[in-house]
Amino acid sequence: MRRPYIALFIATTGVSFAAIFIRSVSPEVAPLTIAFYRLLFTTLVLLPFTLSHPSWRHDLVTLSRRQVLWMSVIGIILAAHFALWITSLTKTSVASSVMLVTAHPVMVAPLAYVFLREQLSKVNVIGIALSIAGAAILVFGNYSLKSSTLEGNILAILGGAAAGLYILGGRKLRERISVMAYATVVFGIAAVTLFVLCLATRAPLSGISMRDHEIIFLMAVVSGIFGHTLYNWALRYLRASVISVSLLGEPLGSALLAFALPWIGEVPTLYTIVGGCFIIPGIYLTMQGEPSYL
């Protein structure tokens, strides 16, 4: 059972670069445009592999209507996650945005208890309370620094909620469907959803430089293929809550990269650091004390 945990390590490393890639794209490129191309590129990379493998292709063509419907819902939720989170990065810091968006175990754990019957202990409740307190410190403390920061932090929280629903929704499906078939369909539906949103909001889909396309493609491969796709694979072997807690490395990695890279150079505020000292242990405690059915 080591392979799922190795996959989680690789996935966490990959997703830690996502915010850095987004911040490296030219500021005139709309957040919805970035989200659309990120998921489009991921889908286009996955599709040939899925179709060329007999087992994966079989899973793809034998999906039931119920499975397709449920995967469509999950794809729409994933699109909402990217739209909200990428927009939040234009309004708040990398550290704050990633810290809040990865706090979704706080939402996954209670929902997993209700719908998947994964137990919620007293330690989990303490973790949830700590995370909520940390989020409040981070959100409202940083609000006094810049008026748009509150909006960015709220968008990150909503993006985290969508990510939690995405992980929770995929838990049961991934027990029956190969990761490649599942990821290809869900990412494809998310890309179509974002394409429609771009048209509806008139977010420009053309006129993007080759450099920006290359950065978004790297994000699709590094953070998408080696990030979210490996998370989807691990969902077959690990609980939804375990997948979520593995993302603890993302806010730390992203914050360090945002601080170290000269073209970003973000120094976390005191409120971000204090809030993080509540959120990260809170997320960890949210995942403790649960029986395993691995």
Q: For residue 41, give both structure tokens.
A: 């590129």
Say how many C-beta atoms besides its own lie within 10 A of residue 188's C-beta: 20
pLDDT in tens, 148-177: 788 898 899 999 999 888 888 887 677 678
- Domain chopping of the chain, boundaries: 2-286
pLDDT in tens, 95-130: 888 888 887 777 777 777 777 677 777 887 888 888
Query: Among 17, 58, 35, 50, which Cα is nearest to 176's?
Result: 58
pLDDT in tens, 235-266: 678 776 666 666 667 787 788 888 888 888 88
Q: What is the structure's pLDDT at 294?
A: 32
Percent of the chain with pLDDT over 90: 40
DSSP 7-58: HHHHHHHHHHTHHHHHHHS-TTS-HHHHHHHHHHHHHHHHHHHHHHSHHHHH
Query: Among 166, 187, 218, which Cα is nearest to 50's?
Result: 187
Q: pTM for the whole thing?
A: 0.83
Q: What is the mean pLDDT of residues 45-68?
A: 93
